[in-house]
Amino acid sequence: MTETSPNAENERESVRLRRPGKQDAQSLWRLVCANETLDTNSCYLYLIQATEFSDSCVVAELNGEIVGFATGFRPPKRPDSLFVWQVLVAPAARGKKLAKRMLSYLVRHGDGVQFVEATITPSNAASRALFASLASQLRASIGYTRCFETTDFGASGHEAEELVRVGPILERE
């Protein structure tokens, strides 16, 4: 499933959203390794995401290069929900609505998705703004609840994570 469109700011920039495949896992892993916000995982995990979970994942290509991705899954206990595991846009490609477009793509192509969930650290202003903007576009409510405390992460020193839940979704476009 592929969507293409010219970028409004620069007609020469071509954005393409599509499902990831096995061949994309290394690109996702490299993007995560280069970022300072998200936890780094093994390349193996991105291989699993790009193959076994590709129906709930999307990559964004800008002029043929992968510059962003969103990975997720459908929680078995909440089949009407899409849990966004990681969403990342390379610094040079930020501010072009790529993250919001990727999440919209997952909602639009996710069979029966009524809610979008993720966990977010309280300090991640960009991520909070992203989900607020998504909720507004989908004409959906947005709520935050406590999820993982710092102590849940043991000695790693990881910041607490809140669960954000967007939905029910009233507008899918």
Contact residues for ligand COA (CB under 6 A)? 35, 37-38, 87-89, 94-100, 118, 120, 124-127, 129-130, 133
Q: Structure tokens of 79?
A: 């089949």
CA–CA separation, 102 vs 109, rounded Å? 11
Q: Do residues 161 and 147 lie in contact, with contact meaning Cβ atoms separated by under 8 Å?
A: yes
Closest CB to ligand COA among residues 106, 130? 130
Which of left, alpha, beta for 167 (phi over 0: left; psi -120 to 50: alpha)?
A: left
Which one-letter DSSP state was computed for residue 2? Answer: E
Closest CB to ligand COA among residues 92, 155? 92
Q: Could you give the angle at which helices 98-109 and 125-137 cross, rounded to 10 degrees?
A: 50
CA–CA separation, 75 vs 117, rounded Å? 10
* Span between the terminal Cα atoms of the chain, in Å: 16
Q: Whole-number minimum distance, CB 154 to ligand COA, in Å?
A: 21
- The residue written with tokens 């964004």 in the block is 60
Q: Whole-number minimum distance, CB 134 to ligand COA, in Å?
A: 8
Q: Whole-number minimum distance, CB 13 to ligand COA, in Å?
A: 13
Closest CB to ligand COA among residues 22, 141? 141
Q: Whole-number minimum distance, CB 99 to ligand COA, in Å?
A: 3
Q: Do residues 91 and 117 lie in contact, with contact meaning Cβ atoms separated by under 8 Å?
A: no
Closest CB to ligand COA among residues 22, 139? 139
Closest CB to ligand COA among residues 10, 22? 10
Q: Whole-number minimum distance, CB 15 to ligand COA, in Å?
A: 11
